[in-house]
Structure 1
Amino acid sequence: MTQHIPDLPEQLVPESQLPWFKRLVARMFGGGLSRLRVQHAASWLHGQADGFRSGHGAGFDYGFKEGHAEGFEEGRQVLLISDTRPQVLRAPGIDDHLFDDWRLPLSPELKKQIKADVAALLPAYAQPSAAQWKMIFSDTPSTSVVAGAGAGKSTSLVLRILLLTHYLGFELDSMTVVTFTRESRKDFISKLQQIFTLWGRPLTLKEARDVVRTFHSRILPMVRSLPGYSQLQAFETLSSRALLSEDEGDSNPFDLRINDAQRQQLNACYHALYSRDERFRETLAPLCRHALQLKELERDHPDVQKRMAVTELAAKRDEELCDLLEDLWFAAGAWPIKGIEPNRETLEINGSKFHCHGYIPQLDAWVVLGFDPRENPQISRPGAKLSVRAEWAVKRTLFRAFCSKPLIWLESYEDAKRVLSTLAGDASAGPGFDYKLKGELSSAPLLDCFVSAASFIENLGLDVAAAVGDMRFARDDPDRFFFEALSLYWRALEDHLLTQTPPVMTYNRMFSLFGENTPQNFKLLSHEQLRPLSHLMIDEFQDVSPQIVSWLRASLREIRSRGPAMHIGRGAQRSSLLCVGDDWQSIYGWRGSSPKYFMEFNKEFSSPATTRVMLSDNFRSHQHIIDAAEHIVRAAPSIAGKRAKASGELKQVVPVKVLNRDIQDLVARLTEHYNAGDRILILYRKISDKLLIEKDIQSVVNLDSSLAPEDRRLKQLTYHSAKGLQADAVFLIGDCQHLTSSPYKNQVYRMAGLGKDAESDPYDNAQKDEILRLAYVGITRAVSHCYWYLESQDGQGPNQPKASDRIPKGKAFFEDLRTSNG
């Protein structure tokens, strides 16, 4: 630092700084005084100046240093006591992760050892790819594996289990591998046993079965651990025969068929509720009338147009026809019917007068007797050109098009018995009529409809009564009464089932007992009952429902909350979740499943760290099969970045062939492939499609059926039931088409938070995407050849989208052989 020296008085100015004349005089004068040894005032003054300068410099240095030190200390003290607290106070954040922040202890040396063991013990074709190793070695608490068709995920899952148990010391009873169906569970257990044996750790069948489960077989023991429920049975597995213990809880979640034991419980509950609840009886009357009422037919329908010409002639002979039909019914002991007043009321149909046979006051509906199909179809009136059956068909068509009154047309004597039991209030055998909800493709017995609708609502994680209370229908919509009746019936059924010995409960209710809305119930479970869910590996995760997701999240949250105390003395610590799925293969939306939870995995299963793996190699199909299937499905929302490539052995690529529905062509190609030794799948959308070709392919079916089960090479299945299977040649019969709109499913979909914001028809839109995914599943069953037989495109409505709309022109992976007049 440069010091500043202040100006000096004139007498203290140094000699060297004086003007030259004064400097000369001063030297001469000063020299004389020095010789005379007289005091030299100037020298004294200059000495004083030198002292001033040196004293000032020293004082400046000392003062600066001391002042700087004191000032710095004061400043430091000021900074230390400054108020740095935030102006706005905030509460602590919430750690809502389902897992602790931890990692699997996988060192490079351990990974190297595992890879060496796999290379030595598994054949070359079973060696994992780089992506599969990423899945096996995932060390984060949560992992999502996007595995397309034919990705070889099963072996990777088994190696993951081997890693946890054999190399890291996790106990088998700390983990659960979830498969969706009994068949897939059986296959996985077999593979698990085979690979563990290669590592010198053979598993008994019981050990393997204990770790490989369905969701249903895991929830059942949890509920049975509750006081008073040790012998609980699942409604879905009720049977008139005793179940083998190892099959218990191992039901197919997508099987909706009602067996005799289940129907007995449904009918008993119905009878009790019908007897005691007046409002329930009142809701059934409009349902019964709607169900039995003759369905309308558009007046421009070809059948109506054809029969309008004989309206007047038919009316003239109608009384004679009524007489003959009543005679037939009377002779069969089916007429008169209690509850139906015989009444030949005259109705005007297309300007002519026709007659009814009776009136039902209870339903405020008119009755016409039909021609029972068991009667001789050749019966005719004397002198009539048409048979009674033909005249009856003309009358029925005209009534469907022009009758303005509520009309019940009894098609057969059996129909009459069912109506009779309903009118008589005989509820012991159930309601006695079928019902068809808007949006469903066909009618079914009323109680079956109740079970189906309630299951759909509960699969979405909703309570039936609460959901019904939030629904809205038009005043004259019979579905309004259906859901009111369902709400009353479902509550009664749950209570009825629990009073049985042993008690019975639906799986959906079991899951709801341990869902996110009922976390307190987990306090009733011991560590041993909860520990198997610590390390979860779930296959086919794209097919989970909101109900299952709620149970999984609640279970994982409870495991984390219990902390280390739950794992004392054990090799397996904390918890993890690994989910394998393919959103392109999500095809169970009609049962309440949704790919949303897999597509938004990180959001739905919050974790400190997540690994995502894309298994893009397809070890099943050649590239044309893959490209054709992906082209169809890409119009549906999906996980970004997916594109499969054919791996493994090189295969000859042939396009997917699209053909007109031609049974002879199908039989010829089928026979050719079967004689060549190929394995074959015939997949159909409707049972009618199967029946249509059954007779023509019978020779091949008979030949295959004569072989031992392991040697059979031909299977006929629905698109849905073929999932997970493969064949050299696949024959697809029929299109994948969205045919109806479901008002009630759209409503409950919105309640469950599925679909986009402000979307009016979220369920319908989801189904439009699902038909594309269903076609993808069908095509990707093929290893080498795929044939897709379609009906003529004529007559398809503009609001009925279908998967075949996506078949492109000019692409090498499709060969469209349809003719315009097919």
Structure 2
Amino acid sequence: MAQHTPDLPPELRPLAEMPWFKRLAARFFGHGLTRLRAQHRASWLHGQADGFRSGHTAGVEYGFKEGKLEGLEEGRQVLLIRDSRSTEHRPPSVDNHLFDDWRLPLSAELKKRMKADVARLLPAHAQPSLAQWKMIFSDTPSTSVIAGAGAGKSTTLVLRILLLTHYLGFELDSMTVVTFTRESRKDFINKLIEMFALWGQPLSLQQARELVRTFHSRILPMVRSLPGFERLQAFENLSNRPQGADEEVDSNPFDLRINDAQRQQLNACYHRLFNQDQRFRQLIQPLAKAALQLKELERDHPDVQKRMAVTELAAKRDEELCDAIEDLWFRAGAWPIKGIEPSRQTFEINGSTFHCHGYIPSFDAWVVLGFDPRENPQICRPNAKLSVRAEWAVKRTLFQAFCRKPLIWLDSYEMSKRVLSTLAGDASAGPGFDYKVKGELVSAPLLDCFVAAAGFIENLGLDVPDAVGRMSFAKDDPDRFFFEALSLFWRALEDHLLDQKPPVMTYNRMFALFSEHSPENLKLLSDELLRPMSHLMIDEFQDVSPQIVSWIRASLAEIRSRGPAMHVGRGAQRSSLLCVGDDWQSIYGWRGSSPSYFMEFNKEFPSPSTTRVMLSDNYRSHQHIIDAAEHIVRAAPAIPGKKAKASGAPKALQPVNVLERDDQALGQRLAEHYNRGDSILMLYRKSSDKLLIEQHIQPVVNVDSSLPYEARRLKQLTYHSAKGLQADAVFLLGDCQHLTSSPYKNQVYRMAGLGKAGDSEPYDTAQKDEILRLAYVGITRAVSHCYWYVEPQDTQAVNMPRASDRVAQGKAFFVDHRKQPQNA
């Protein structure tokens, strides 16, 4: 029986299944024919072809079926493997953290030991709360501490430093504590030395000063380490003192006053640029014209309404008035003025004819001479009922309201000299005229305006020429010429300052050199210079500017990139950032600061892990003070969940008293509190208010100023200057009101990415919130009593928001004594 071969196709099976002897005979017969070469070649070839074809077909079919079965099985295995993998291509993610993923090595035993030491060495009232301990013992790379007014943050911050140094062995030169002003730095240094002494760690004044810095005093050594800048001076610290006397000077970032040494450099740069740059000269001319032109007055202004009635009478006497005033100017040697044609031109005001005194061809403007304030105000024309000064005042008001021709009104002989130097192109003493950028409250010397505008732009982390190139103004807006001139001047000033011996640089320029825009510059710094930035503790962080934030982030990124090698053999390892602030006390937006970096701390300072601490206890004020201040500020955007509670020794509850402006009544009440032994803060919004109130509080001022400094109980400050201070009784003079709109600041705010998307006036929006925060700061200075004297609503600013609009009615924490109280 033939063996069955199931592996062969059916077509080949008959051959394979022949009996074996037949197959053997066929094989011998085939071999014989082959040896005899007896095959019929044609038949053989034909058979070969047929066999090849049939064999090929059978083989392909067989192979296909077998291969298909094997392929399906292998395919199932391949699919099973591929199902376990992602077919999507994804590159590794970028680690944008500013810190390594690490923790402070705080054991339970270490915490227990420190708590025992604090309980033993500090009095009962100074023992930290649970929230304060959370701040002290934060072990994450980054920590944000929301510390409201009177939260006792200074003591807590000193205890944090003690933890790092005394208990963990961190070196002092691995850390920096940043305060914003000279005054706050001095106070913190004293507290630090006192506390370290209690722990048996003597700290010298020099050591404390090295640790507690302003941002400005930390950036200066960095720039001085660069080749050629070893003796660099900061423009803000320039003075006429001997060289080297600035080593211990810290610039106050909120002091905009320009001293003589700084002005000398500004004037010298202006003089050179004015003489060398034709475009700059062209830009100054419309600025001078705009600055000197008589400012318009609204026609519904009370002075205009009062003097319109005498327009016709004033016109009849105008030629005689012109003669009288010209005589005074001629006698003073101030008239005629070179560059002004003494040509009387007539103007029509409400149908009546008036005259001017001259014409300036280069300005295409007419000139009217004013009544110099040094002249006798009682001088009269013959048979006139009014004085020359009074007649002139009527004419001036009418021209302000109704004259639309370009008109320069020379108010004084001194002003004529400045105009003369401007017309003569004499730039040796600077521009010689004031200017008012739209949105600013007052005019200022042109170069002061340049410094202020450039400072604001740079504080936002922007380059002045680049920002100016992205601004836009109406064709006839003088600010268009102002900012183009600023762009030319600022670049020239930076070059001029660097050419000095030794070179000079602004602090903003220093921060920009080591910001995120120039990370390669940080590579040039030694480990010793960078190490103090490793463990940063920053107070008043809500007042930080974008420029400073960029520098901090760049420094932390560089420290991380250098890795463990930077810390070999040292107790302090890696880096950390602890920021203490209160977004409700952010009141320096007009200088370019923004609370958004504190409010969005986790986004702005990315970290593997962050600790957030809310210090809600207020150890300064009673609950009515707290609630009144928070009611005012709560309308502004803020970190959610904030609500302070009075802590410490209980105090009698007194409401915040809101009163009509009455300087005499204020003086009497202030004297009563002083005579009771209270400490007093007299806070004002404008310097003119300080002058007005002085006569009413002079007796108290005389008594207090005769005492030793440490025994004095009366301080007079602006709202802004009072931050960090406190007193038993606080007197607030003046409302907090947003009075103007700033087109240029709105533009650069948008460039800096500040404000909400779609808000065309983000700076103005921020300022409307800031007036509420300013009132909060003022009120929370009070320990027991707060009196707020508010002016009636100004008819010229009736649509501009005021903080006092938020005073609540029917609440225990406010008593509104005004005749027509505003609804909350």
Match of 1:778 in 2: 778
* Alpha-carbon distance in structure 2 between the residues aligned to 1:487 and 1:237: 23
**1-structure distance, mates of 2:719, 2:755:** 25
Instruction: Report if the CA contact (8 A) 1:216-1:249 is conserved.
Output: no
Please name the residue that 2:756 is paired with: 756
Q: 1:771 Cα deviation (Å)?
A: 0.3
Q: Does 1:496 align with 2:496?
A: yes
1:78 Cα deviation after fit: 7.2
Amino acid across the alignment from 1:480 = R
Distance 2:344 2:75 in 1: 112
Determine the structure 2 residue equivalent to 1:722. 722
Counterpart residue number, 1:173: 173
In structure 2, the CA distance between the partners of 1:359 and 1:82, relative to structure 1 (3 Å rule), is closer
Give the drift of 1:344: 1.1
Q: CA deviation at 1:664?
A: 2.7
TM-score when normalising by structure 1: 0.90
Shift of 1:351: 1.4
- Amino acid in structure 2 at the alignment position of 1:314: A
Is 1:591 matched up with 2:598? no
What residue is the counterpart of 1:609 in the other structure?
A: 609
2-side partners of 1:779 and 1:300: how far apart? 36
- Whole-angstrom distance in 1 between the partners of 2:809 and 2:821: 18
Tell me the SS of whatever aligns to 2:359: strand
Matches within 5 A, 1:298-317: 298-317=298-317
Counterparts of 2:794 and 2:409, CA distance in 1: 33
Native 8 Å contact 2:237 2:246 kept in 1: no
1:240 correspondence with 2:231: no
- The answer to whether the 8 Å contact 1:234/1:249 transfers is no
* 1:695 positional shift: 0.5
3-state DSSP class of the match of 1:745?
Answer: helix
Residue number in structure 1 paired with 2:23: none
Partner of 1:67: none
Provide the aligned length of Structure 1 versus Structure 2. 750
Matched residue SS, 1:611: strand
2:743 corresponds to 1:743: yes
Instruction: Supply the AA of the counterpart residue of 1:665.
Output: A
Q: Which residue of 1 aligns with 2:803?
A: 803
Distance in structure 2 (CA, Å) of the matches to 1:404 and 1:345 = 14
CA offset at residue 307 of structure 1?
Answer: 2.2
Does the aligned pair in 2 maintain the 1:178–1:215 contact within 8 Å? yes
Deviation at 1:401, TM superposition (A): 1.8
Deviation at 1:81, TM superposition (A): 5.4
Opposite residue 384 of structure 1, the aligned amino acid is A
Counterpart of 2:180 in 1: which secondary structure?
coil
Deviation at 1:296, TM superposition (A): 1.4
Q: Which amino acid letter does the alignment assign opposite residue 270 of structure 1?
A: Y
Q: Which moved more, 1:182-191 or 1:400-409?
A: 400-409
Where structure 2 has 5 or more consecutive residues not aligned to the other structure, the ranges are: 1-72
Q: Report what 1:813 is aligned to.
A: 813
Would you say the 8 A contact 2:586–2:773 is kept in 1? yes
CA distance in 1, matches of 2:606, 2:245: 36
Shift of the 600–243 alpha-carbon distance from structure 1 to 2, 3 Å rule, reads farther
CA distance, structure 1, for counterparts of residue 739 and residue 379 of structure 2: 39
**Aligned partners of 2:237 and 2:251 also within 8 Å:** yes
1:237/1:248 contact within 8 Å kept: no
Q: 1:15 maps to which residue?
A: none
Output aligned runs, 1:668-679, within 5 Å: 668-679=668-679
Helix, strand or coil: the match of 1:785? strand
* 1-structure distance, mates of 2:94, 2:113: 41
Cα distance between partner residues in 1 of 2:755 and 2:717: 31
Post-superposition offset of 1:83? 6.3
Measure how far apart 1:696 and its partner are. 1.1
Contact 1:583-1:595 within 8 A present in 2 as well: yes
CA distance in 2, matches of 1:508, 1:190: 29
- CA–CA distance in 1 between the matches of 2:451 and 2:364? 28
In the alignment, residue 507 of structure 1 is paired with which amino acid? Y
Q: Distance in 1 between matches of 2:159 and 2:605?
A: 24
* Rounded Cα–Cα distance in structure 2 between residues aligned with 1:796 and 1:334: 37
Q: How many angstroms apart in 1 are the aligned matches of 2:363 and 2:86?
A: 74
Quickly say closer, same or farther: Cα 1:384–1:796, change in 2 above 3 A: closer
Residues 339-369 of structure 1, C-alpha deviation per residue, up to 9 Å, x if partnerless?
1111111222221222111111111100011
Q: Counterparts of 2:821 and 2:459 in 1: how far apart (Å)?
A: 44
Question: Which letter does structure 1 place at the counterpart of 2:139?
Answer: D
Q: What is the correspondence of 1:202-351 to structure 2 with a 5 Å cutoff?
A: 202-242=202-242, 248-351=248-351
Deviation, structure 1 residue 607 = 0.0
Q: Give the partner amino acid of 1:237.
A: N
1:282 aligned counterpart, secondary structure? helix
Mark the CA change 1:814 to 1:665 in structure 2 (over 3 Å): closer, same or farther. Answer: same
1:530 maps to which residue? 530
Query: Aligned pair 1:371/2:376, yes or no?
Result: no
Partner of 1:566: 566
Matches within 5 A, 1:72-91: 84-91=84-91
Rounded to whole Å, the distance in 2 between the matches of 1:247 and 1:780 is: 35
The amino acid that maps onto 1:371 is F
> In the alignment, which residue of structure 2 is the partner of 1:413?
413
CA RMSD of superposed structures (Å): 1.7
CA distance in 2, matches of 1:590, 1:436: 16
Q: State the one-letter code of the partner of 2:321.
A: L
Amino acid at match of 1:188: F
Other-structure match for 2:644: 644
Cα pair 1:220 1:249 within 8 Å, conserved: no
Distance, in Å, in 1 between the alignment partners of 2:693 and 2:332 is 37
The 3-state SS of whatever aligns with 1:642 is coil
Structure 2 distance, partners of 1:378, 1:749, is: 51
Per-residue CA distance 1:155-206 (angstroms, 9 max, x = gap): 1111111100111111000000000000000000001101111111111100
Evaluate the alpha carbon distance shift between residue 232 and residue 736 of structure 1 in structure 2; reply closer, same or farther with a 3 A threshold: same
Does the residue aligned with 1:177 lie in a helix, a strand or coil?
A: strand
Q: Residues 619 and 739 from structure 1, CA distance in 2 versus in 1: closer, same or farther, beyond 3 angstroms?
A: same
**What's the CA shift string for 1:299-345, capped at 9, x where partnerless?**
33332232223222322222222122111111111111111111111
> Post-superposition shift, 1:94?
0.1
Identity %: 81
Do the aligned partners of 1:121 and 1:198 also contact (CA within 8 Å) in 2? yes
How far apart, in 2, do the equivalents of 1:792 and 1:572 lie? 58
SS in 2 for 1:696: helix
SS in 2 for 1:341: coil
TM-score with structure 2 setting the length: 0.89
- Say whether the 8 Å CA contact 1:179–1:214 is kept in structure 2: yes
Aligned to 2:15: none
CA contact (8 A) 2:684 2:717 kept: yes
Q: State the one-letter code of the partner of 2:207.
A: E
CA distance in 2, matches of 1:491, 1:347: 43
Report what 2:693 is aligned to: 693
Instruction: Check the 8 A contact 1:216/1:250 in 2, yes or no.
Output: yes
Residue 634 of structure 1 aligns with which residue? 634
CA positional deviation for 1:249:
4.9
Confirm or deny that 1:540 pairs with 2:537. Answer: no
Query: Relative to 1, partners in 2 of residues 1:386 and 1:798: Cα closer, same or farther, differing over 3 Å?
Result: closer
Task: Report the alpha carbon displacement of residue 125 of structure 1 after superposing the two structures with TM.
Answer: 1.2
What amino acid does structure 2 have at the position aligned with 1:171? Answer: E
The one-letter amino acid of 1:774's match is: L
Give the Cα–Cα distance (whole angstroms) in 2 for the partners of residues 146 and 298 of structure 1: 46
Gaps of 5+ in 1: 1-72
